Amino acid sequence: MHRFFIPPKDSHNNPLRLSPQESKHARSVLRLRESDRVVVLNGAGKELLCQVNEVRSEAVSLKLVQENKITPLPFEITLYQAVTKGKAMDFIVQKAAELGAHRIVPVLSDRSVPAWDDAKAAAKIEKWRGISIESIKQCGSAWLPRLELPMSPKAALVDARQSHLSLIATLQPDAKHPREQIDAYAAEYGQAPRKLAIWVGPEGDYTPAEINTIRTGAQPITLGPLVLRSETAAIYCLAVLNYELQARP
């Protein structure tokens, strides 16, 4: 069945009404008809099985048939991603949503992009939120990642203090396999971290000064001997950390 998105504040209505953009897609592209079944996601843990109630030129209304509450993952991963150039950041946001990231924090590093004013930052976040919505519709996740406003490395380091364990992907010689860092945490605290932060740098990586700053609160992990693109590193980290955390009690 086709999937649609309705914000949490609007997902309690019955009938439900798709946004103008979603309605246009449903009517003109998918050519939905009355009585068709669809799934609606609200990004906050609800999966709604619906039946098309009415298809009009300006809106599509849906009758709620069944409501399912989807349990979130037993851990939360926050991606502290240095903003990349071009469309690479769009790709990272898309894949982070697919891989179940809980939060995405864009980091304005010295080697990423020029400083943004508030208006440009807000526009970027809105664009990335739209990409995240399309991503959860594609993969069927009931949970939408939280997208934060861009932060400096120092501000992001303060934000990351809420995590139980922070990791930074680096080529530095003392970096360890992600499993070793998680094992060390589990040995000390008796369980795997439930809130985990992962830092990924831009093209050319964080500057040495930024790495030193981040490492005051983050443990270094290796992604192997090869130099990876920023978007590849982000996907690698999220996939490996998901695998490691899901395998633990």
User: What does the pLDDT look like over 24-47, one tens digit per residue?
Assistant: 888 888 898 988 999 999 999 999
Same domain, 222 and 112: yes
Other C-beta atoms closer than 10 Å to the C-beta of 199 total 31
C-alpha torsion 72→199→233→205, nearest 10: 160
pLDDT at 114: 64
Same domain, 15 and 37: yes
β-strands 3-5, 37-41 pairing:
parallel
Structural domain span for residue 22: 3-69
User: Which of the four pLDDT bands, split at 50, 70 and 90, describes residue 139?
Assistant: very high
Residue 133 CA to residue 43 CA, distance in Å, equals 8
User: What does the pLDDT look like over 193-235, one tens digit per residue?
Assistant: 999 999 999 988 899 999 999 999 999 999 999 999 999 999 9
- Count helices and strands (H / E) in the chain: 7, 11
Same domain, 56 and 148: no
User: What does the pLDDT look like over 81-92, one tens digit per residue?
Assistant: 999 988 999 999
243: Cβ contacts below 8 Å, ≥ 6 apart? none
CATH at 55: 2.40.240.20
pLDDT at 85: 83
- Does the pLDDT value for residue 72 go beyond 90? yes
Among residues 177, 189, 190, the alpha carbon closest in space to that of 236 is found at: 177
Same domain, 193 and 98: yes
